[in-house]
Each structure stands twice: as structure tokens, then as C-alpha cells.
Amino acid sequence: MSPLPERPLTVLIAALGGEGGGVLADWLVAAATRLHFPVQSTSIPGVAQRTGATTYYLEIYPVNRSELGDKQPVLALTPSPGNVDLMVASELIEAGRAMQNGFVSPERTTLVASTHRIYTTLEKMQMGDGRIDGERIMRAADALARKALLFDMAALAQQSGTVISAVLFGAMAGSGVLPLARAVCEEVIRASGKGVEASLRGFELGWRHATGEAQQPSPEAIKRWAAHPHERVRATLPGEVQRIAEEGAARTLDFQNARYAALYLDRVEAVAKLDREQGGGAGGYRLTLETARFLALWMCYEDVIRVADLKTRRSRVERVRAEVQAKANEPVHIVEYLKPGVEEIAAILPARLGHALESWAKQRGLRLQKGMYIRTTGIVGFLLMRFLATLRPLRRSSLRYGIEQQTIERWLEAIHAAAPLGLGLALEIALLGRLIKGYGDTYARGRGNFLRIMDTLVAPTLPMSESERREAIRNAREAALADPEGRKLEGSLSSVGVTPLPPRAKPLQFMRKPTIARPGAPAAGAGSAPRS
């Protein structure tokens, strides 16, 4: 008789709400029970608003109960750092949390995690790019885990029409850590009786990727470049910039037309030429890379035309149906909530009409932001949105287009002027493009901060050296991203001799208190005299 294992197999699962983490834990318990293995599972609920996952902890003693006789293994209720054999995370940041908390060790732990991202509340709150570096987490996984199986399981779940827990189960079974045969795992999925075929397809994909039977397609292979000038990108731009430039060309083509994509590449090529002449090739053409990145985002700004186009595309409807797992015969109704203001309406009008509308509304203190509910899966709502989307050919004559292009040209001219003084200074100016983002009030604040820095620090009015100006621009940009009210920006500017602006005025709106009629009092307009 072979000696009994000294300890049980420990499994820790971190899953977000709605991803079937509880079902996954039940499948594991059911599979272990079928093999007559002692098993125990506990769960700890996660925190709402995407600040933590629900965790499931299981201990499986991989010996048939008939072989134990009178002995019973002692199974723990909670995990402890350094003592987890299989760590499973349904999203990349949860894998990072597990490593940070010490649940992944190079001597013992196999890490199975999906590489897709669902951004946390803290990441979304940042004025700038608050995303956590996913590449850093993946590098840490390779260093800290005994074995790391990382791939995009959310994409595989969508491909198979199931939830991510089925793909995770397949990856766990294929990792070689669980003492559970594949056939047993598939049996418990069939026994569950719900979404069996889709779950089995997801399990199969997870198994194949974990065992190496399927190769994860590269990001370049997944991209669907539809009629964009990639040949020009590869013929005229350095290799370090080509991927970003191809994405930018595809985006601008989709936003407007081929002529607009050519304008984007004209601008990027001019910066690449400047970068090369100033010796930027040795540094990986970072000036060109960052300029190409923010230029693509800036040129594809969000206006009413763009929003209407995106919300009525077949691909979006199909994506929504896939996300809610609607069957072919099940109707799905999509209701959009829109709140356009005077600025959004004026933005798509011809320049003269747009200016006239903004002036008229400003004189009267009007914003006219009224919420609208539009059902884009209905005939009326869909036709209304498609009509707005068909205005795309008129965009070049619109007020917003002219304003954006003028500001972009000013930004690019500043980059060209700064490069001969130092590529570091030109890079800091290029990174100011990060301030231009969003729509509505967010866009207005970002644009205001951008122009404030351009007017005070980029324009060579203050007596500064190249290094001092570079540092001042960097500090001002970081201050603008850290404070939506703009006070940190003004503080940063004042530290280099710029007179700070006063705080922005916030209008107060006084509401008339409703009059409550007293019993027996005469009604208004029935002979009662007004009271002072």
C-alpha cells in the first residue's frame, strides 16, 4: 500500500460577480465527490463596485475514502500565503492581487489566469491613464509562479457562447495539477443540466490552450484591417512605430475616410523624419510613438455623428447579444440614454451656424441638456441615429472639426519647434495630448488645461533652460491629470513664475420653494392679495 499524501491539494479561485465562480467551485466539489475524495470548500463574498473578487477556497485530499480506513484528513477553511497549489483568477488584476497577497509561490503554485481586463473603479477615476500595467503583472507571474498559464479566457468564453467559468475549469483540468480526469470533469458539467453544450465547448477550449494543443493567435492576426494603407506604414515608418501607426490609420479611416487616414500618416511621417534627424532612433523613436498614439485618439474625437454611428452598428448589437447570452429567437431591446447640450449640437453645424448658436445660448445662459431615451433596436430610434451618422461627409465643414484641426496643428508645430532644442522637451509636449479626452465637461476641462500649459510653458515667454522647461511641462501635466478642478495645475504653474488664475466660478441655481396651501386659505388668483 502506497503511503498517504502528507497534505491535501489546495485550490484558490478569485472570480468576479456574474462569472460563475460558485458554479466552478461546485463542479470541482462534484468531481472530487465522484472519485470519493474528501473535499471541502468555502467562499468569501467580494466587494461591490469592482474593488475585489469573490474567492472560493477548496481542499481536496486525493485518496479514495475506502483507502483511508478510520482516518480522516483535516481540511482547512481558509488559504494561507505560500500554501496554495493552484491559484485561479478570472481576470488579470485578480492574479496580481493574489501575487501581492502571497498566494503564489515559485516552489508550489500553478497560476491559471485570464489576461483580459475589467477595469477597477480606482483605475476609472483617474483623470489620466490610470490603468495598471498588465505586462508587469504577466512578468511577475512568470517570476513568482512555479508554472503560469495565462491567456484570454474571456474571448474563448464569448467564442463558445458560455461564461468564463467553463473555460477556467478546462484550463484547470488541463494544467495537470488537479487529480481529476477530464472525463470526470465533463461528466459533472453534463450532470449540471444547464447550458451543457456551451459549457463543454468552453471547457474544451480551456483544456486545449492549457495543454498546448491550441496556439493563442497573435494580436496582429486578430486585427481585421479593412482597407487601410498598411503598405504605406511599413514602407515609410520605422518598425517601432508601425503597429501604433497601423492602428491609428485604421481608426481614422473608420472615423472619416481614406483621405483623413492619409492626413494622419502625413503628420506621423513628418514627426518620424524629425525624430530620425535628431537621433531618436537610438531611443526607439519614442517621440514618434507617443505622437502617433495621441494623434490618433485626438483626430477621432467623439461627436454626435461618431456616437450615433457606433451605437447602430451591427457588430455592437451582436456584441450586446453575446454579452447577455441571448438566443437566436430571443429579442434584445437596447435603450440609449443621451444628454446632448448646446455645445454638442453646435459642434456638428457649419462653423458660422455653430458659432451663432453658441453665442445665442451663452447670452441667455442656456445649456439645454435634456436627457433622452432612444431605443436603437426600434425603427424610429434606429432611423434617427442613422440619420445623424450619415452626416459624416459634412464633418469637415463643422465647427468642431475646424477647432480640433487648428489645435492639433498648433500642438504639432510646438513639437517640431522643440525637437532641435531637445527630444526630451518635444516628448513632454507630445505627452500633453493625454489631456485631450472624453466629451462634455471632461473634454472641456482637459482642453482648457492643455491650452493653459501651451500658453504659459510651451510658448517661450518665460526665461528657462531646456531642462527647466521640460520639467515644468511634465509637472504641470501631471498636476492637471491629478486634479479635475485645476487648482493643482495653477499651483504648479505658480511655482515657475506664472500668475495663477482665480478659482473657476460655480453657478448657483436657486429653486422656488413650492407654496403649500393652508386649510381654509383662499386659492391664488381668487382675490387673495400677495404678501411681501
pLDDT in tens, 198-236: 899 999 999 988 887 765 544 443 343 334 467 788 778
C-alpha cell at 505: 466660478
Using CA atoms, how far residue 424 sits from 116, 254, 278, 323, 466, in Å, is 33, 32, 11, 44, 9
* Whole-number average pLDDT of the chain: 85
**What mean pLDDT comes out for the span 487-503?**
86
Residue 244's pLDDT is what? Answer: 92
**What mean pLDDT comes out for the span 170-186?**
92
Strands 39-44 and 54-60: antiparallel
Name 134's Cβ contacts closer than 8 Å, sequence gap at least 6: 92, 115, 117
C-alpha cell at 161: 457562447
Residue 447 has pLDDT above 50, yes or no: yes
Place of cell 451663432: 356
Residue 146's pLDDT is what? Answer: 92
Residue 525's pLDDT is what? Answer: 45
Using CA atoms, how far residue 282 sits from 65, 278, 287, in Å, is 65, 10, 11
Least confident of 80-89, 206-215, 376-385: 206-215
C-alpha cell at 269: 511621417
CA trace torsion 284, 285, 286, 292 (10° rounding): -140
Residue 38 CB neighbours (<10 A): 20
pLDDT in tens, 107-159: 999 999 998 888 777 777 777 777 888 888 989 998 999 999 998 888 888 77
Least confident of 191-195, 240-244, 433-437, 524-528: 524-528
What the chain holds in terms of domains, given with CATH numbers, is: 9-216 (3.40.920.10), 304-385 (no CATH)
Count the alpha carbons within 13 Å of 426 in the hemisphere toward its beta carbon: 25
DSSP classification of residue 4: P
Name 181's Cβ contacts closer than 8 Å, sequence gap at least 6: none
Do the Cβ atoms of 158 and 167 come closer than 8 Å?
no
Residue 443's pLDDT is what? Answer: 85
Q: Which of 156, 196, 162 is nearest to 322 (CA)?
A: 162
**What mean pLDDT comes out for the span 240-244?**
89
Label residues 111-126 b or e (16+ Cβ within 10 Å = b).
Answer: bbbbbbbeebeeeeee
Residue 52 has pLDDT above 70, yes or no: no
Residue 237's pLDDT is what? Answer: 85
**What mean pLDDT comes out for the span 31-44?**
92
